[in-house]
């Protein structure tokens, strides 16, 4: 869409409202995500990143000719916008130092209006560019790949191995979908066990671990782990394939559980075209900030058993995990997961419009629906 049309403003109003609604949902301790322990806690910082990213993009619209959205698919900005933002971050400080500060630009703008009796479009663009560069320089944004972070360390009492809960983010380029990954990784390397585990098989309280830790806790594998999860971050790879690939990449790292939170598609009245049926109904909602629908999928795969390592005279095989796939559920089999959940977040006005159309039941089939009303989210409608 062209940046100088009202479509851009409407889109940003609706996505801002959607992310605010998602934050309200995640902050509710009654949220189903809290049944998954750390999931809600993990995802909120990535929502922070998305909000900062959209704020920066909104300012960028003020001085660029076009802003493209994946209108027919995810409803999120196309991947080139993500790459451009990442590239601009590298030069933001240098570009800011060459520009007048915000107060000077605003004073020049007021003076121009008084002297010329017209709006200073060029100065407005400079202000937008200044705000954009300040945004991306100050806030953590959602880039193509967000490095892993270890947020919890413990010991498996059954085998005495330390395990880590690690998370990372990926903005998928082909499907233009932001995703958050979260994995529980056991570590069978002897050096880390000596460092972290006491003789009675518990985490050594004498070892101070300043969580969260950037990267995988074990420095021996941290860099290779970063590379492995980045290489295996694509949406086109099923969770079971990703878990198997990680397992194959490391002899001493054993992925016991992998979760993937896929945000989208996003539907916005008058902007996205990923569903004519939904768009037609949403277009009847009066306010842009209430004319949207945000969906997400939570996928999970877990290990059902670990094949022990084999050490022979002529060959040997490392320990490998076997992952459970719910073959009784055709959709779980197609996704390559042990389990999955599909969720939809919708403002009260939009839900009423969908309900009045008689289409709500078919549109939300298979979804858990969460309705935003003010600063509350009513779930399982």
pLDDT-based confidence at 3, cuts 50/70/90? very low
- Tokens in use for 246? 């990680």
Lowest mean pLDDT among 30-44, 60-74, 230-244, 357-371: 30-44
pLDDT digits (tens, 9 = 90+) for 197-221: 999 999 999 999 999 999 999 999 9
Helix (H) or strand (E) holding 231: helix 219-231
CB 43 within 8 A of CB 261: yes
Cross-strand pairs, 197 = 203
pTM across the whole model: 0.92
DSSP class of residue 2? B
pLDDT-based confidence at 34, cuts 50/70/90? low
pLDDT-based confidence at 275, cuts 50/70/90? confident
Asked whether residue 133 carries a pLDDT value surpassing 80, the answer given is yes
Asked whether residue 50 carries a pLDDT value surpassing 70, the answer given is yes
pLDDT digits (tens, 9 = 90+) for 162-184: 999 999 999 999 999 999 999 99
Residue 106 confidence (pLDDT):
81
**Exposure letters 303-316 (e unless 16+ CB within 10 A, then b):** beebeeeeeeeeee
- Tokens in use for 325? 């796939």
The CA-based dihedral angle spanning residues 35, 22, 28, 342, taken in that order and rounded to the nearest 10 degrees: -30
Asked whether residue 2 carries a pLDDT value surpassing 50, the answer given is no
CB 108 within 8 A of CB 79: no
pLDDT digits (tens, 9 = 90+) for 65-108: 678 899 888 999 999 999 999 999 988 889 888 888 888 878 87
CB 290 within 8 A of CB 272: no
pLDDT digits (tens, 9 = 90+) for 326-379: 999 999 999 999 999 999 999 999 999 998 999 889 999 999 999 998 888 888
- Tokens in use for 72? 């027919």
């Amino acid at each position: 869409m062209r940046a100088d049309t009202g479509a851009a403003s409407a889109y940003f109003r609706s996505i801002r409202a959607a992310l605010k609604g998602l934050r309200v949902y995640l902050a509710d301790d009654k949220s189903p995500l809290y049944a998954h322990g750390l999931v809600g806690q993990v995802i909120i910082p990535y929502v922070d990143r998305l909000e900062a990213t959209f704020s920066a993009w909104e300012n960028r619209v003020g001085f660029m000719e076009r802003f493209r959205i994946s209108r027919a698919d995810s409803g999120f900005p196309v991947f080139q916008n993500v790459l451009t933002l990442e590239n601009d971050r590298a030069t933001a400080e240098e570009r800011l130092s060459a520009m007048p500060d915000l107060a000077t630009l605003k004073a020049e703008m007021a003076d121009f209006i008084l002297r010329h009796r017209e709006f200073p479009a060029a100065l407005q663009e400079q202000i937008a560019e200044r705000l954009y560069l300040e945004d991306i320089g100050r806030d953590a944004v959602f880039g193509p790949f967000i490095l892993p972070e270890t947020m919890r360390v413990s010991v498996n009492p059954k085998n005495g191995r330390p395990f880590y809960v690690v998370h990372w983010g990926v903005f998928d380029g082909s499907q233009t979908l932001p995703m958050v990954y979260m994995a529980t990784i056991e570590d069978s390397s002897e050096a880390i066990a000596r460092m972290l585990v006491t003789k009675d098989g518990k985490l050594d309280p004498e070892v101070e671990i300043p969580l969260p830790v950037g990267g995988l806790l074990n420095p021996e594998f941290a860099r290779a782990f970063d590379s492995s999860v980045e290489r295996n971050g694509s949406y086109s790879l099923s969770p079971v394939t990703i878990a198997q690939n990680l397992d194959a990449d490391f002899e001493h790292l054993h992925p016991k559980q992998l979760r993937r939170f896929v945000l989208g598609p996003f539907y916005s009245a008058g902007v996205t075209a990923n569903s004519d049926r939904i768009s037609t109904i949403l277009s009847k909602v009066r306010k842009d900030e209430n004319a949207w629908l945000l969906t997400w999928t939570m996928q999970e795969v877990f290990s059902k058993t670990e094949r022990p390592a084999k050490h022979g005279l002529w060959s040997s095989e490392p320990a490998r995990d076997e992952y459970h796939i719910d073959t009784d559920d055709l959709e779980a089999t197609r996704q390559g997961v042990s389990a999955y959940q599909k969720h939809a977040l919708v403002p009260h006005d939009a839900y009423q419009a969908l309900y009045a159309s008689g289409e709500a039941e078919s549109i939300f089939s298979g979804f858990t629906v969460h309705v935003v009303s003010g600063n509350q989210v009513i779930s399982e409608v």
